[in-house]
Amino acid sequence: MSFTARLTADAALIAQRLDAALADKADQPVIHAMAYAMRGGKRLRGFLVLESARMLGLADARAVSAAAAVEALHAYSLVHDDLPSMDNDDLRRGLPTLHVKWDEATAILAGDALQSLAFELLSDPALGAAEVRIALVAGLARAAGAEGMVLGQALDIAAETATAPLTLADITALQAGKTGALIGFAAEAGAILTEADPGPLRAYAAALGLAFQIADDILDVTGDAAKAGKRLQKDAAAGKATFVSLLGLDGARARALSLANEACAALAPYGPRAEMLKAAARFAVAREM
Amino acid sequence: MSFTARLTADAALIAQRLDAALADKADQPVIHAMAYAMRGGKRLRGFLVLESARMLGLADARAVSAAAAVEALHAYSLVHDDLPSMDNDDLRRGLPTLHVKWDEATAILAGDALQSLAFELLSDPALGAAEVRIALVAGLARAAGAEGMVLGQALDIAAETATAPLTLADITALQAGKTGALIGFAAEAGAILTEADPGPLRAYAAALGLAFQIADDILDVTGDAAKAGKRLQKDAAAGKATFVSLLGLDGARARALSLANEACAALAPYGPRAEMLKAAARFAVAREM
């Protein structure tokens, strides 16, 4: 199976699990908004959960609720990041953002409920022993919270009003939180689910997360908004320092490629079983969306 | 020990646990905002966790992280409910609300991170076996999410623009989500922590939650804003239906008292060990804050 076919198949599997999670909930705007927030997207984080588990011998049915949890959490973060008082975006995955389609209150509440849903999904007995599930909860809570994703977003917002532009070290720290923490948890989830050594997947994810973010900055400059499904060139317009503004376009590309190679090298212990995760690292730096 | 002394002692115990949870986190505005959001308050929900566990024979040290989790979650809900696009409140627990003291972005992020922190606290091994902790996670996620607290808040916001005023059944359903779900989880937590039959505590909490909310509506009309630490008479000004507008002041008082008695009766199986929880039910309908 090619990487693209696998990504598509996994996205469908995750969508099915998320649909099932919402299926028995009330017929209310906030529930519809949650479903809207979870549609589309590459579901790369969910793929990382499924594929890291698969590489370590776990059946998809034993991992899919964790993949869905990570995607629910990612969806909440996008909904809140898009709010007028945050990044103020009106387009996401090619459609109006949630606060544009509904209103701010619904967007805040739907995001809040998506975070709760993520933890509810991690309590699914299909994921294995209680020890495994509570380890997933601890890992996701830390990745999501005030030392992970939220901290990264807070630093990003602070950067907009900072008097001095960010340095490369600042941006690396910021991105380690904003996108790195959740990508890291997603890849590590396979090791948690199978109670395997998390070391190699952790190293893979650290390099992958940064490569992914550098590619995002490149895409913001060179990308096609129609393919990306969101507004681009926002960082340059805001005068924000990015990996591209600091390293130049060629320098950023070289750094992203080198990180993708580093990510692949970290998986050496797994030999050919790691092929699909290596393809994901190559995809992360070559993608157009 | 009197109920008031117990409530104060438990509030201090919970504050200590919350302080410890934030102590090792970064020196960032979003972390300071989280601490600010968690200061003060009666901590009645946290007390319900500690006291229900205590009644069933559990030491405080084995329950305090769950009490802190419930208070972190409650704090997040207050921060988000106070936002301009939600209830638009500028005063809470006698101090400026978080978005007034910082800004909306910080308030949204601090609330988000408080929710993550709640689940992180539930993963604390001090709470017991992994089975117990994951049951707490599942219970809190459901109480917080799209069929619990968030649904209640969404219905409350929808009521503001509804063409027909809410009926008693509508308001009861709304409050079962908005305040009832988390109070219910808090009281049930003792049974989860000790793997006891949740039936009596569930019945107690259902009556208590509704009594608490009716008392809140009474307080909104008759209360002293200085004691309550928040703006009052908001519902009447907004023309919103409340238990008081539907039942009258005397009718609402009678209903709250009858529910408090119902709550106490549900604890009959525990005899004198339930005295403190019964006092909490009486307090809930007699409080001035």
The CATH number of the domain holding residue B162 is 1.10.600.10
* B159 and chain A in contact, CB less than 8 A: no
Which of B214, B217, B215 is CA-nearest to residue B240? B217
Specify which residues B91 forms β-bridges with: B96
- Tens-digit pLDDT profile for residues A225-265: 777 777 777 776 777 888 999 999 999 999 999 999 999 99
**pLDDT, tens digit, 9 for 90 and up, residues B249-282:** 999 999 999 999 999 999 999 999 999 999 999 9
Instruction: Quote the pLDDT of residue B287.
Output: 77
What does the pLDDT look like over B163-222, one tens digit per residue?
888 899 999 999 999 999 999 999 999 999 999 999 999 999 999 999 999 998 998 888
Closest CB to B141: pick one of A34, A120, A131: A120
Q: What is the mean pLDDT of residues B232-242?
A: 75
Helices of type H across A123-242: 130-144, 149-160, 168-175, 181-194, 199-222, 225-228, 234-237
Q: What is the ipTM score, two decimals?
A: 0.95
Q: How many domains does chain A have?
A: 1
Chain A positions touching B117 (Cβ under 8 A) are: 141, 145-146
Q: Is the pTM of this model over 0.90?
A: yes
Q: What range defines the domain where residue B190 resides?
A: 3-286
The Cα–Cα gap between B72 and B109 comes to: 14
Question: By the 8 A CB rule, do B108 and B77 touch?
Answer: no
Cα maximum dimension of chain A: 51
Find chain A residues with C-beta within 8 A of B112's C-beta.
76, 80, 111-112, 115, 144, 150
B162 touches chain A (CB under 8 A): no
**pLDDT at residue B220, rounded to an integer:** 87
Closest CA to B48 of B22, B14, B94, B90: B14
Closest by CA position to A248, among listed A287, A225, A222: A222
Asked if B176 reaches chain A (Cβ–Cβ under 8 Å), the answer is no
3-state secondary structure of B29: helix
- Calculate what percentage of chain B has a pLDDT beyond 90: 80
Residue closest to B62 by CA, chosen among B75, B72, B52, B71 = B52
Give the pLDDT band (50/70/90) at residue B289: low
Residues whose CB is less than 8 angstroms from the CB of residue A103 and which lie 6 or more positions away in sequence, other chains included: B85
Q: Is B59 on the interface with A (CB under 8 A)?
A: no
Name the pLDDT band for B160 (thresholds 50, 70, 90). Answer: confident
Interface test with A, best of B121, B150, B153 (most A CBs within 10 A): B150
| Helix/strand number for chain B, H first, E second | 15, 2
Q: What does pLDDT average to over chain B?
A: 93
For residue B67, give the amino acid letter. Answer: A
Render pLDDT for A37-95 as a digit per residue (tens, 0 to 9): 999 889 999 999 999 999 999 999 999 999 999 999 999 999 999 999 999 999 988 89
Range scoring the smallest mean pLDDT among A105-114, A120-129, B159-168, B182-191: B159-168
